[in-house]
Amino acid sequence: MAIRETWGKHRLVAGNLIVTYFLLGTTMNQNDQTGIIAESQKYRDIIQKDFIDAYYNLTLKTMMGIEWVHRFCHQSRFVMKTDTDMFVNIFYLTELLLRKNRNTRFFTGFLKMNDFPIRKIYSKWYVSKDEYPGRTYPPFCSGTGYVFSTDVASQIYKISESVPFIKLEDVFIGLCLAKLKINLEELHSEQTFFSDRVEFSLCRFKKIVTCHYVKPHELLIYWNELESSMDEKCPDD
């Protein structure tokens, strides 16, 4: 997988160990499950739980990851949840997190401050009034990629059972944060998290944390260019 060869590769960045785990539900296809088991034994980086891996189970998948962090990652300082079709500049992300110097009750990403439920029944993001009766969602970060201090994982895990379930995982996390009274914060004065595609240019990608809709072959190209030019200056540096 391209992620393991690029931003998901285990490495040290500014003296900080970066590790990546892949969250999976189960599949009804036995051949696929056999392949997952083999891949897990080879790379030791897959976390899997017994629920069907489908879009409407993303909240279950995300909470599985948060429970894992709560139970096994006390030594870490920050956690990022992101998707497989994303570009992540872990170098710039690490730089900004160290500069921010916030180790508790910190949550950042592409902020969505005034979103509202979509009531059109055929929409991918449809939410009924029974599922969520409110007119607006609390502030949340796009599920394409968000970052939080590790203590927040434990707080979300502990409070999650008292929060009404909603299938949109990023909204559910926002509901948990609202109950915890944890405010979302910008990581930088300039936008660094992008929930949409960003056309590649080396200098542009040096100053973003995430962008979306990146194909595996593009990810390899973008990453190799970024990594091979880390010491080169851009006009705005």
- Whether 227 has a pLDDT exceeding 80, the answer reads yes
- Whether 236 has a pLDDT exceeding 80, the answer reads no
Domain ranges of the chain: 2-228
- Whether 157 has a pLDDT exceeding 80, the answer reads yes
Dihedral angle of Cα 42, 47, 48, 53, to the nearest 10 degrees: -110
The reported pLDDT for the residue numbered 69 is: 98
Indicate the angle between helix axes 169-180 and 58-72, nearest 10 degrees: 50
Contact present, 211 and 87 (Cβ < 8 Å): yes
What confidence tens digit (pLDDT) does each residue in 4-42 have?
999 999 999 999 999 999 999 999 999 999 999 999 999
- Whether 72 has a pLDDT exceeding 80, the answer reads yes
Confidence of residue 125 (pLDDT cuts 50, 70, 90): very high
Confidence of residue 103 (pLDDT cuts 50, 70, 90): very high
The reported pLDDT for the residue numbered 230 is: 85
CATH class, domain 2-228, is: alpha beta
- Whether 237 has a pLDDT exceeding 90, the answer reads no
Model-wide pTM > 0.85: yes
Confidence of residue 231 (pLDDT cuts 50, 70, 90): confident
The reported pLDDT for the residue numbered 212 is: 98
Contact present, 237 and 231 (Cβ < 8 Å): no
Percent of all residues in the chain with a pLDDT value above 90, rounded to a whole number = 96
The reported pLDDT for the residue numbered 22 is: 98
The reported pLDDT for the residue numbered 1 is: 84
The reported pLDDT for the residue numbered 233 is: 85
Interval 131-158 mean pLDDT:
98
Question: What is the arrangement of strands in the sheet containing 140-149, beginning at the earlier edge strand?
Answer: 78-82, 140-149, 107-112
What confidence tens digit (pLDDT) does each residue in 40-60 have?
999 999 999 999 999 999 999
Q: What is the mean pLDDT of the chain?
A: 96
CA 121 from centroid of its chain's CA atoms = 27
